[in-house]
Structure 1
Amino acid sequence: MDFGVLLGQAYQGFVQELHAHLAGHGHQVLGASYGYVLRTLADNALTASQLGEHLGITAQGAAKVVDEMVRQGYIERRADPNDKRAKLLHLSERGRDMLDTVRTFHADYERRLTARVGADQIAAVRAVLGEIIDTATDSTTARAFRPL
């Protein structure tokens, strides 16, 4: 099997398991950007435009994701104390719960995988994936990765 296909299928399997885990905890993921948005807003409130800029998507794209996440109860819009015209995006209690659930899943997934294949194998996979990311990030032609 081609290496890229192997990477893609491994990621798809991981995401399917993550979404099933989230559903079991009362969370529904409608878009691929949810995780990036949750992590971005975890420590800093941003406007929709700032969020889009941070994630490397258009303001319109960010607004669409934000509207969806507000409807689902993961994000709240609040007045910006420094600019009454602007709305800052904050994680709601439900959004924080989802992020905590995701982080717990990630740690448990890696623990389970480590138990099956060993810590040395996991360290090697992490090193290879890190090299792939570093190489693509250093390339002037590579699409920028979303910051996490």
Structure 2
Amino acid sequence: MPDRPVRGAAEPPGFELPLLLFAGFRSLIDQLHAELAVRGHPDLRPAYGFAMQAIGVRGATATEIGRRLGVSKQAAGKTVDRLEALGYVERVDDPGDGRCKLIRLTPRGLDSLARAAEVFDELRARWVERLGADGVARLESSLRTVVPDAGFPVDVPGWFG
């Protein structure tokens, strides 16, 4: 961590904002995965959650998954291979294109996403306990104001890659 420049107490250095946002994100994701392990999904990793979001409830091809994640088709394929070995996804013939395989979530994959949604609700409730309902609502509203309105990205694996 770089030395902190001398500033007034009311004006923190600019580099703290992205680090605090990332630390908050990381804290939530770490707590999510610890809880998912207890709830029957000990092998899930953050990248797998992004991949399952990229697959979605309708399924997707490896090319689509790679594009959504911001990684190559080969990298997406490796993640899909691991998710398939763990029982979270399956490959089926694509009814729209016989040359392609469609990757779909299995009941185990859908269960993991449902449990993750439950855990996120519980984690948000913990933040409400600590910050108050108004504080969390203000935080969410403020972030919606400054974050581009392009939906929620799942391309974090490619962005950090």
Q: TM-score over 0.5 for the alignment? A: yes
- TM-score band w.r.t. shorter chain: 0.7 to 0.9
Say whether 1:54 aligns with 2:68.
Answer: yes
1:33 to partner: Cα distance: 2.2
Say whether 1:15 aligns with 2:29.
Answer: yes
CA RMSD across the alignment:
2.2
Residue in structure 2 matching 1:29, options 34, 41, 44: 44
Residue in structure 2 matching 1:146, options 139, 148, 154: 154
Say whether 1:85 aligns with 2:93.
Answer: no
Query: After superposition, what is the alpha-carbon deviation per residue over 1:31-64, rounded to whole angstroms, capped at 9, x for unaligned?
Result: x322222223332211111111122221112111
1:81 to partner: Cα distance: 2.1
Counterpart of 2:131?
117
1:74 to partner: Cα distance: 0.5
Query: After superposition, what is the alpha-carbon deviation per residue over 1:82-137, rounded to whole angstroms, capped at 9, x for unaligned?
Result: 332211010001101100110001111112221332111011111222234229x7
Say whether 1:39 aligns with 2:39.
Answer: no
CA distance in 1, matches of 2:39, 2:73: 31
Residue in structure 2 matching 1:66, options 80, 83, 90: 80
Q: Matched residue pairs, number?
A: 139
| 52-61 or 63-72, larger mean C-alpha shift | 52-61
CA distance in 2, matches of 1:118, 1:63: 43
Counterpart of 2:120?
106
The answer (yes or no) to whether the contact 1:42–1:96 under 8 Å persists in 2 is: no
Larger Rg: 2
SS at match of 2:98: strand
CA distance in 2, matches of 1:134, 1:86: 33
| 88-97 or 2-11, larger mean C-alpha shift | 2-11
CA distance in 1, matches of 2:107, 2:24: 31
SS at match of 1:76: strand
CA distance in 1, matches of 2:102, 2:40: 26
The answer (yes or no) to whether the contact 2:89–2:106 under 8 Å persists in 1 is: yes
Gaps of 5+ in 2: 1-11, 156-161
